[in-house]
Amino acid sequence: MQILDMNMINFRNLDDEHLEFDRRFNLFLGKNGQGKTSILEAIYFTVTGKSFRTSKNKEMIKYGRHKMGAFVNYEDRIALKSISVKVDEKKKRYSYNRKPIKYDEFLGKLNIISFIPEDIELIIGSPSVRRSFFDYEIAQADPEYYLYLKSVSKLLKFRNKYLKDRNTKDPMFEIYNLEFIKYASLVVKKRIDYIKNVSRLLSLNYRKLFDGEKELTLGYKSFLGELKSPTLEEIGGKIRKSYEEVRDRELRYGYSLIGPQRDDFIFLLDNKEAKSYSSQGEKKSIVFALKISEIDMIIKEKKETPIFIIDDISSYFDSIRKGNILKYFQKREIQLFISSTSDLEIEAKRFHIHRGGIDG
């Protein structure tokens, strides 16, 4: 996949622009605070419908304006296509090939992976940060998973309401409970399969790029305890058993104590938890190894190469790690959007950014 061009209107501090991109490397250069990250955010937002900087729509709309939009033409292995997102302070509207669609249909049309300084939170942040990341990455390649997550979230709200009202004798509670177990099992199974597949790539990529002597693994900390290779039926049975064990406590507390909303993911470097024992450089390298493992996962699942974004590479990596990363992409047929405060020794289309203006 390659993004050919993009139109954006009223996006943050950026000038309204039509930008044409190179099919391989696109380099955004400028001092800090000029708008480099905002351009990458605009690309990511148009592809995913989400920002990697904020969850509030109004923060992306240029000051003094009430709506914003971005439009991308891209090419996959089949044809030329387009997607767009339009936003006001209350709502987002999605389109594909100029026809309105729902977010469920929009998700995964064009696959993109971002690497930004804030990604260090994947290691040092809360379990909810890791769940959100892995849930989105799984859903990019498997839109069915997103529907399972929506069902779990909806059923969890029903379940919690009955628990809060101490109304678990109502027959509807048991109906919701059975549906919750069904979709929670599907989510857990998808997560297990994903972790198994990505872990095979993770250590290999870490060794090739950063440290050939250390082994990097990714663990899945399920609310069900240790799970190796269970069937869907076995997972459902474990959830039912867990529910029986916590039934009285859930009623006493008034909210759910079981479910995939309590899961976590753990990075281990040489069998030591990276959050506590790895250096800052190692943590950055771990996250990057994960991100490039996502490339191979998407290629395997969708037979398409995703777009890749790197923000602020000059200040985030030392010269050795930065050099290894650039060499990696020079060997791969991947479209790269990258920002830097200093020029890089790569063949690329260069865009110079100054106070929201783009020259390129």
Task: Return the ∠ at Cα 198 (arms to 196 and 203), rounded to 5°.
Answer: 105
Same domain, 182 and 283: yes
Is residue 308 domain-shared with residue 295, that is, in the same domain? Answer: no
122 C-beta neighbours (distance < 10 Å), count: 21
Per-residue tokens: 159: 């379940």
Residues 320 and 269 both lie in one domain: no
Strands of the chain, DSSP E: 2-9, 17-20, 25-29, 67-75, 80-88, 92-96, 99-101, 112-115, 216-221, 264-269, 272-273, 307-310, 336-340, 349-354, 357-359
- C-alpha of 353 from chain center: 26
Of 285, 301, 317, the residue that ends a domain is 301
Backbone torsions φ then ψ of 69, nearest 5 degrees: -155, 155
Residue that terminates a domain, selected from 260, 279, 301: 301
Q: What is the CATH number of the domain that holds 21?
A: 3.40.50.300
The per-residue pLDDT for 194 is 92
Tokens of 185: 């099992």
* 77 lies in the same domain as 201: no
| Cα–Cα distance, 52 to 17 (Å, whole number) | 21
Q: What is residue 229's predicted lDDT score, i.e. its pLDDT?
A: 85
Residue 212: per-residue pLDDT: 82
Answer yes or no: do 318 and 349 share one domain: yes
Question: Scanning the structure block, which residue is given the tokens 């409970």?
Answer: 177
Is residue 217 a known part of a binding site?
no
Q: What pLDDT does 227 receive?
A: 85
- Written as one letter, the residue type at 339 is S
Q: For residues 93 and 136, state if they share a domain.
A: no
CA distance 265 to 246: 23
Whole-angstrom CA distances from 185 to 51, 219, 261, 325 are 29, 18, 12, 38
Q: Interhelix angle for 171-209 vs 232-253, to 10°?
A: 120
Phi, psi of 337 (to 5 degrees): -115, 120
Q: How many residues does the chain have?
A: 360
Contact 330, 336 (CB under 8 A): no
Q: Which residues pair with 259 in a beta bridge?
A: none
Q: What's residue 190's pLDDT?
A: 96
Place of tokens 């959050």: 275
10-residue averages of pLDDT along the chain (360 residues): 94 92 94 91 94 87 91 91 90 94 91 91 95 92 92 96 94 95 97 91 90 90 89 95 94 94 95 93 91 91 91 80 87 93 90 88
Task: Kindly state the tokens that stand for 64.
Answer: 């003094």
- Specify the residue for token string 């872990």: 199
2 is in an annotated binding site: no
The whole-number pLDDT of residue 317 equals 76
Q: Is 30 annotated as a binding residue?
A: yes
Single out the residue of 34, 92, 103, 47 nearest to residue 67, CA to CA. Answer: 92
25 shares its domain with 130: no
Q: Are residues 317 and 297 in the same domain?
A: no
CATH code for position 256:
1.20.1050.90
177 annotated as belonging to a binding site for a ligand: no
Does 31 belong to an annotated binding site? yes
3-state secondary structure of 54: coil
* Tokens at 215, concatenated: 């082994």
Residue 303, phi then psi, degrees to nearest 5: 60, 30
Say whether both 46 and 170 belong to one domain.
Answer: no
Based on the domain organization, do 137 and 266 belong to the same domain? yes
312 and 288 together in one domain:
no
Q: Containing domain of residue 46, as a range?
A: 1-111+304-360
Q: Determine how β-strand 92-96 pairs with β-strand 99-101.
A: antiparallel
Token pair in block for residue 26: 């696109």
Count of structural domains, the chain = 2
Predicted local distance difference test score (pLDDT) of residue 24: 94
Strands 80-88 and 307-310, bridge-based pairing = unpaired
The response to whether 225 counts as a known ligand-binding position is: no
Determine whether the annotation assigns residue 32 to a binding site. Answer: yes
Same domain, 186 and 252: yes
The sign of the CA dihedral 263, 267, 268, 272 is negative
pLDDT at site 320: 82
49 known member of a binding site: no
